[in-house]
């Protein structure tokens, strides 16, 4: 690795495709959530999925008036992803689908939402949630992670469109970017140092073909040319072979890709996963609200970067704490503490109000499960639309 100038450093972010075992599980969990919300917006869902050796195990809590066929939802999602043969790692037709699902605990429901108005609904659990935004891209999102996410989405696109016919569903991406940080903490991406892609493939294809096609149809289509130079390194299937994939090669589990789902290692993470959880769980709604706040602060020009933390207690509506860190980029005349006051003035962070403001009872969650929950403005996620702030 090359030596860097003072104030320059490398930062890496990764992503995975929808056929990765963990993302397969996220997609199944969120597909069940969407199916419930489509019929009953008050559904309470906490759905975990495990995948291994042609088997899907569903475990969790589900309280809903929706009439859904969980077995069919699971098989349809697996088919859509492209797992139609055990040789690929999973077969939607023959896999076992095991259900271990109970109702939501009465202890939780009475504390959180029973007989309560929207503004009184308590948090579904304790926890701390983070949101992050940076003006290094028009999406107000870290460039390194934006590239990793888009590479994973492009891998899936070229496979499903038949542009690269020999690809299989499983895959991973990683991008290392050289950044410059100025004396005020502002981050500027300068160039891409390394692109790493591992993609599952049919057995009858050479590494040379894979290298050529991935470079042409994936990397060159995603990463802007001005960020690539003669020092950029490309690693494509460095293991030499990636035929066995999916849940046959590696067990999958809902909620195991929390950094892929958020900011690619930038900012911070409270530890709570998103997929399979209805919005009464602040692991999800609180994190979406924190991103909304951070993006609104940066979009308003109050800072170049913002990290927002919100913390909750189960059964209590108001957050226990709100924290803002701008890494020294806050604009003249403001302080991080003053930004906290602006947040309190402009955002109601009670879970019931977040759900209403961000339309979180809409069945849109399967769209979030792969490719990132943030930065994807084309998907119509309400938390990606900055709020005009009253200062």
pLDDT tens profile 69-88: 999 999 999 999 999 999 99
**What pLDDT is stored for residue 111 in this prediction?**
44
Residue 21 forms part of a structural domain = no
Sheet holding 305-312, edge to edge: 127-134, 305-312, 321-325
The Cα-based distances of 327 to 90, 130, 175, 186 in angstroms read: 45, 15, 23, 8
* Inter-residue contact 328 to 184 (CB < 8 Å): yes
Residue 185 forms part of a structural domain = yes
Q: pLDDT-derived band of residue 89, with 50, 70 and 90 as boundaries?
A: very high
Residue 202 forms part of a structural domain = yes
Residue 343 forms part of a structural domain = no
As a dihedral over the C-alpha atoms of residue 327, residue 332, residue 338, residue 341, rounded to 10 degrees, the angle is -100
- Give the count of domains, the chain: 1
173-189 pLDDT, tens digit per residue, is 999 999 999 988 899 99
Is it the case that residue 117 has pLDDT exceeding 80?
no
Residue 131 forms part of a structural domain = no
Counted residue by residue, the chain has a size of 391
Helix axes of 70-81 and 21-39: crossing angle, nearest 10 degrees: 130
For residues 110-129, give the mean pLDDT.
Answer: 68
Residue 71 forms part of a structural domain = no
Cα–Cα distance, 149 to 155 (Å, whole number): 10
Q: Mapping DSSP to helix (H, G, I), strand (E, B) and coil, where does residue 34 land?
A: helix
Residue 55 forms part of a structural domain = no
Q: pLDDT-derived band of residue 123, with 50, 70 and 90 as boundaries?
A: confident
Look-up of token digits 């975990």: 48
- Phi, psi torsion values for 123, nearest 5 degrees: -65, 145
* Inter-residue contact 108 to 315 (CB < 8 Å): no
Residue 175 forms part of a structural domain = yes
Which range scores top for mean pLDDT: 125-129, 183-187, 326-330?
326-330
261-317 pLDDT, tens digit per residue, is 999 999 999 999 999 999 999 999 999 999 999 999 999 999 999 999 999 998 889
Within 203-251, strands assigned E span: 233-236
Is it the case that residue 110 has pLDDT exceeding 60?
no
**What pLDDT is stored for residue 1 in this prediction?**
60
Is it the case that residue 135 has pLDDT exceeding 60?
yes
For residues 356-377, give the mean pLDDT.
Answer: 96
Closest CA to 255 of 281, 237, 280: 281
CATH (domain of 149)? 3.30.300.10
Strand (E) or helix (H) holding 90? strand 90-91
- Tell me the residue range of the domain where 153 lies: 8-15+143-244
Is it the case that residue 326 has pLDDT exceeding 90?
yes
Q: Write down the mean pLDDT value for the chain.
A: 94
Q: Active-site residues: which are they?
A: 20, 22-23, 48, 61, 172, 242, 250-251, 256-257, 277, 281, 283
191-200 pLDDT, tens digit per residue, is 999 999 999 9
Is it the case that residue 371 has pLDDT exceeding 80?
yes
Confidence (pTM)? 0.95
């Amino acid at each position: 690795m090359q030596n860097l100038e003072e104030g320059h450093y490398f930062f890496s972010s990764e992503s995975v495709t929808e056929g990765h075992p963990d993302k397969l599980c996220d997609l199944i969990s969120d597909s069940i959530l969407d199916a419930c919300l489509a019929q009953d917006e008050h559904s309470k869902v906490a759905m975990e999925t495990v995948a291994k050796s042609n088997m899907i195990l569903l475990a969790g809590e589900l309280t809903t008036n929706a009439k859904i066929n969980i077995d069919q939802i699971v098989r349809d999602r697996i088919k859509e992803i492209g797992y139609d043969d055990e040789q690929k790692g999973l077969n939607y037709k023959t896999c076992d689908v095991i259900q271990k699902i109970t109702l939501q605990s009465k202890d939780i429901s009475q504390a959180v939402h029973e007989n309560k108005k929207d503004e009184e609904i308590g948090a579904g659990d304790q926890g701390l949630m983070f949101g992050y935004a940076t003006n290094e891209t028009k999406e107000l999102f870290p460039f390194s992670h934006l590239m990793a996410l888009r590479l994973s989405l492009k891998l899936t696109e070229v496979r499903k469109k038949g542009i690269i016919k020999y690809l299989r569903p499983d895959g991973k991406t990683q991008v290392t970017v050289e950044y410059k940080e100025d004396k005020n903490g502002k981050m500027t991406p300068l160039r891409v140092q390394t692109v790493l892609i591992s993609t599952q493939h049919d057995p009858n294809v050479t590494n040379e073909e894979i290298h050529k096609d991935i470079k042409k149809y994936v990397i060159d289509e995603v990463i802007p040319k001005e960020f690539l130079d003669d020092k950029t390194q490309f690693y494509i299937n460095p293991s030499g072979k990636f035929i066995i994939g999916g849940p046959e090669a590696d067990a999958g589990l809902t909620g195991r890709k929390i950094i892929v789902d958020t900011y690619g290692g930038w900012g911070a993470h409270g530890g709570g996963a998103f997929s399979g959880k209805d919005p009464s769980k602040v692991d999800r709604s609180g994190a979406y609200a924190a991103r909304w706040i951070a993006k609104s602060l940066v979009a308003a020009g109050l800072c170049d970067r913002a990290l927002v933390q919100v913390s909750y207690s189960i059964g209590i509506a108001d957050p226990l704490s709100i924290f803002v860190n701008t890494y020294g980029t806050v604009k003249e005349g403001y302080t991080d503490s003053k930004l906290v006051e602006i947040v309190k003035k402009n955002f109601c962070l009670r879970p019931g109000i977040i759900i209403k403001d961000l339309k979180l009872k809409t069945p849109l969650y399967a769209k979030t499960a792969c490719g990132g929950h943030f930065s994807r403005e084309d998907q119509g996620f309400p938390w990606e639309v900055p709020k005009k702030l009253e200062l």
